[in-house]
Amino acid sequence: MDMRLAGRVAVVTGASKGIGLAVTRTLLDEGAKVVAVSRKAGAELDALAGPNLVHVAADLMDPDAPALAVERAVEVFGGLDVLVNNAGGPPPGATLPRFGFQTPSDDDWRDMFEFNVFGVVRAVRAAIPHLLKSDAAAIVNVSSVNGRRPGPMNSDYNAAKAALNNVAKGLSEEFAPQGIRVNTVSPGPVRTPWWTDEGGAADIIAGATGSDRDAVLDGGAAQMMALTTGRLADPQEVADVVALLASPRSGSTTGAEFVVDSGFLKEI
């Protein structure tokens, strides 16, 4: 199926690994021009190098970074059609999961919202004037199922993603009449470096449960979270949904949330 993304210009944040890398690769495969935003490029992103890819080294904790990335897209490719706000999760220097409400400090809460909410707000604010000039503008925010299911872990992260969902819904109401669609993709647990890196979620959960990281990754986490599929999702499975929502083929879809969660959410 032709996604009608050829020649479209996209900015993707958190693009050097995991879901963001998969989104970047998918958009390039569909013929889009991509400005990939991350603190460092990394070997896998470097392997995608070509005329349709520009890397912007930026830390989205810096209030000026989102606007600089958007302006770079306009400077190099002449405009902007798609903004994928994928960067999120633990702020730089933090690790998740955090167990218990008392664990995160005020600074932890501030950093979590700075990275997962304010970084998105600033990117959207910078992108809107350019997206209004596009004939098929789309914003896709990557949130989390944890924004819909509060729990005794990661209360700061869960609240930040709930806020992000609310912002996206409001944006869709305001800007759909002006031609900008805004949608949300909410992954469940995805087999990304957040899980697999040394000291990441798999190691933390293994230490808390007396297990080992391979057991956590190969089924323990899925069992603990009652994932219907029995496994963590693959980043490409999330990227495919992001690409469809970015595509003009989703022209009547806005204000929606699409869940890619291996069956984590059970609610109707």
pLDDT in tens, 210-255: 888 888 888 888 898 899 999 999 999 999 999 999 999 999 999 9
Give the distance, in angstroms, between the CA of residue 184 and the centroid of all CA atoms in the same chain: 9
The reply to whether 266 falls in a domain is no
Range of the domain at 217: 193-232
| Whether residues 153 and 24 fall in one domain | yes
Check 157, 194, 195, 258 and give the catalytic one.
157
Two structure tokens written together for 222 = 């899925």
| Whether residues 95 and 39 fall in one domain | yes
Per-residue pLDDT of 137-154, as tens digits, reads: 999 999 999 999 888 889
Q: Above 90 in pLDDT, residue 74? A: yes
The reply to whether 108 falls in a domain is yes
8 A C-beta contact, residue 54 and residue 34: yes
The reply to whether 135 falls in a domain is yes
User: 150: which residues sit within 8 A by CB, 6+ positions away?
Assistant: 158
Q: How many domains does the chain have?
A: 2
Q: Residue 193's pLDDT is what? A: 86
Strand boundaries in the chain, DSSP class E: 9-13, 33-38, 53-57, 82-85, 137-142, 180-187, 257-260
In CATH, what number is assigned to the domain containing residue 181? 3.40.50.720
User: 72: which residues sit within 8 A by CB, 6+ positions away?
Assistant: 35, 54, 56
| Whether residues 131 and 185 fall in one domain | yes
Is 157 an active-site residue? yes
| Whether residues 163 and 222 fall in one domain | no
* Local structure of 191: helix, strand or coil: coil
Q: Above 90 in pLDDT, residue 107? A: yes
| Whether residues 70 and 36 fall in one domain | yes
pTM given for the model:
0.95
Q: Which amino acid is at 55?
A: H
| Whether residues 198 and 186 fall in one domain | no
